Amino acid sequence: MKPFCHSETIGRYYSLFYKIYNPYQSDAMKINLVFFNRRGFRFGCNNLFAVLSCLILFCTSCKKDLPAKDASTPKKSELAALSIYKPNEFGNMDYNDSTSTWSYKRSRQSTHFIVFWDKKYQHYDPGSQSIPSAYRVNIDDLLAKAESFYEHNVTELKFAEVGTGKSNLDKYKLMIFLYYQDEWLATGSGYDDIIGALWVSPNTCQPVGSTIAHEIGHSFQYQVFCDIKNGAGFRYGFGGNGGNGFWEQTAQWQSFQSYPKEAFTSYYFGEYVKNYHRHIIHELPRYANYFIHYYWTYKHGIDMIGKLWRGARQPEDPVQAYMRLNGITTEQFNDEIYDAASRLTTFDMDALRQNGKDYIGKHTYNMNQLSDGSFQVAYDHCPGTTGYNVIPLNVPAGGTEISAAFTGLPNAAGYNQVDAGRAGWRYGYVALLENGTRVYSNMSKGTAGTALFTVPAGCSKLWFVVTGAPTIYSPNPWDDNESDDEQWPYKVKFNRTNVLGYINPGENATPRDTSFTYNVSFPLDMTAYSGKSVSIDLTKLATAFVLQPPRITQLMGSSIKFYAVESNGSLNATTTANGYGHWFNAQGNVTSWGTNARLFSEYDASSFVFSIGQYPGHSVVGDKYTIRQALVYEYEPTKKVQATFILNVKIE
């Protein structure tokens, strides 16, 4: 029985909350689906599915860059080299009969794939101009890209060992089933523990992109157990409840081998930097937790993830399998997690460094200042086991020795309770120099201590990094219950620096108006809503409003209001993009998504970052725009101050 999938339209930003169930048990699930599209509207729906003896595997967003490779047209001898499997559920179906649900008369093959298309296409090729555009699919393009995804998964990632008689891929072609329908369908899994397959709707292939790469990734995950059995391939849940988010984490990473920029440009990057404090195998951000894959392959080679899938044995979770396969202890693993966290602070790995350079500083954080001047991590950002915090700091002059007095607080009031005897942390500093060089401090460990660091000359950004590192590792079960997640709270007091933006205002300080001007440029994009982000000068804003940064965030929507500033200087409170965001026309006035839209700007009140992007194809190289937005703070009844953000944008 094949699994089934429900997702939403290509090009939209969306979030899926679902569960993968044990293929050997029967259960039911409720899917809560919420997504945002670039038009700025929010949608939601709930569906109840009965899940019987199958994996529930879901898809992710697609499109943008072309893959690095395209397969060459196969020879006829190659097309016939592999057989076409007939699943048990097909019964007596005759592939040679044009009236069959799936027929060779409505199919096309490449070296390693066969595509069958729906009878509703009748005698037409799905790419024919006679087919309505909503259902039109370029089958040659689908097969060519599928072959490139095959190449990644077999030759580079090593999810299967072919050519030695050890894989069913030496016998059968992977199968793609194209349905003639409007409802989004993108599911990858397989049939009968024999061969991988995927089931898709036309809108997932217009054009073929990372959605199909993701689902073919699932097909290769499925293939691992087909080829090896013996508990390989993570065909089980963690914690005994059937849930396994590692399928989605890995399929994301697999797809990004063909579309590397999407590790940062997809919706899920934003989910990652909001949830990176959680366990690396946590169920909630399962589509977003793909960065640990980059670290493991950075450390052990690009085929490490394939080795992990093939080498895992039930009931291990990925961390347990990773430690066993690499012969390391929990202590060593915790050291690695700190190394990963410190590198991910600036995406300092070859596979991420270039594409991630504009996303440095996006990690969210939440620290509460205590009466003694120290900071305690808030519940909603408290690191779990393997989770981490990235805390930006004010940058002192080069040569300054700074310190952080760290105290672990296991089982502190207001946090999830744990076995305090297992408590542990890792912590230290990361500095980014003006020339792009990274400088890492020594790693500190334990339940309490003082971390020292001499700020290097030319330092432009500085962070304090903390990881949850219990002495005994415990898997994170998928139970949709955050209250039993392991948490490792702490407090830290800084000397000669402070959390970024924190100020020491005088007793008589009064809020005042201020303005910020940023010059932004990015390349013209004809297909995607690409752009850049701007991190505001937080110290300047805090000083103007006489508020510490968390208080600014807390007051958003109440005494602090967000506006667009029209070209005539008037304030417009109506948002037309996502969250605190607006679309602007060429004159810098607010408009809606559509014909007149040129740019959008969306403000993240938690990270103090503006995300600025373009409507694809609505500008030309050399276009210049000025857009304005503002925060208005009513600090006393009828007394207001305004922070105006002027964004000068050039299309290159």
Give pLDDT tens digits for 345-399: 999 999 999 999 989 999 999 999 999 999 999 999 999 999 999 999 999 999 9
* Interval 311-339 mean pLDDT: 98
Task: Quote the tokens at residue 19.
Answer: 């569960």
Average pLDDT, the chain: 89
Give pLDDT tens digits for 286-305: 999 999 999 999 999 999 99
Residues 6+ apart with CB under 8 A from 80: none
Partners of residue 403 on adjacent β-strands: 452, 495
Contact present, 318 and 363 (Cβ < 8 Å): no
Contact present, 312 and 232 (Cβ < 8 Å): yes
Task: Quote the tokens at residue 589.
Answer: 């006035």
- Main-chain phi, psi angles of 584, to 5 degrees: -125, 150
What percent of the chain has a predicted confidence (pLDDT) above 70?
87
Residues 6+ apart with CB under 8 A from 507: none
Partners of residue 468 on adjacent β-strands: 385, 425
CA gap 360, 461 in Å, rounded: 10
CATH 2.60.120.510 domain extents, the chain: 363-495
For residue 4, name the pLDDT band (cuts at 50, 70, 90).
Answer: very low
* pLDDT of amino acid 261: 95
Task: Quote the tokens at residue 566.
Answer: 């029209």
* pLDDT of amino acid 52: 30
Using the predicted structure, report yes or no on whether residue 49 has a pLDDT greater than 80: no
Q: Look at residue 188 and give its three-state secondary structure.
A: strand
Residues 6+ apart with CB under 8 A from 29: 18, 19, 21, 48, 49, 51, 56
Question: Which residue did the predictor score with more confidence, 108 or 23?
Answer: 108
Helix axes 291-300, 304-311, angle to 10 degrees: 100
The continuous run of DSSP H or E covering 104 comes out as none
CATH 2.60.40 domain extents, the chain: 514-651
Contact present, 435 and 459 (Cβ < 8 Å): no
Give pLDDT tens digits for 199-227: 999 999 999 999 999 999 999 999 999 99
* Interval 633-650 mean pLDDT: 98
Window from 38-42, 166-170, 407-411, 442-446 with minimum mean pLDDT = 38-42
Give the N- to C-terminal CA distance of the chain in Å, as an integer: 51
Report the range out of 43-57, 234-248, 393-407 with the highest average pLDDT: 393-407
For residue 433, name the pLDDT band (cuts at 50, 70, 90).
Answer: very high
Using the predicted structure, report yes or no on whether residue 505 has a pLDDT greater than 90: no
* pLDDT of amino acid 33: 29
Window from 11-20, 75-84, 144-153 with minimum mean pLDDT = 11-20
Q: Where are the beta strands (DSSP E) in 469-530?
A: 490-495, 514-522
For residue 18, name the pLDDT band (cuts at 50, 70, 90).
Answer: very low
* CA 248 vs CA 211, 218, 243, 405, 516: distances in Å: 12, 8, 11, 38, 41
Nearest one of 185, 285, 268 to 12, comparing CA atoms:
268
* pLDDT of amino acid 79: 58
**Superfamily grouping for domain 363-495:** Mitogen Ypm (2.60.120.510)
For residue 76, name the pLDDT band (cuts at 50, 70, 90).
Answer: low
* pLDDT of amino acid 1: 35
Using the predicted structure, report yes or no on whether residue 26 has a pLDDT greater than 50: no
Contact present, 51 and 28 (Cβ < 8 Å): yes
Over its C-alpha atoms, the chain yields an Rg (Å, rounded) of: 26
* CA 574 vs CA 534, 625, 631, 633: distances in Å: 22, 20, 14, 17
Using the predicted structure, report yes or no on whether residue 3 has a pLDDT greater than 50: no
For residue 100, name the pLDDT band (cuts at 50, 70, 90).
Answer: very high
- The class level of CATH for 514-651 reads mainly beta
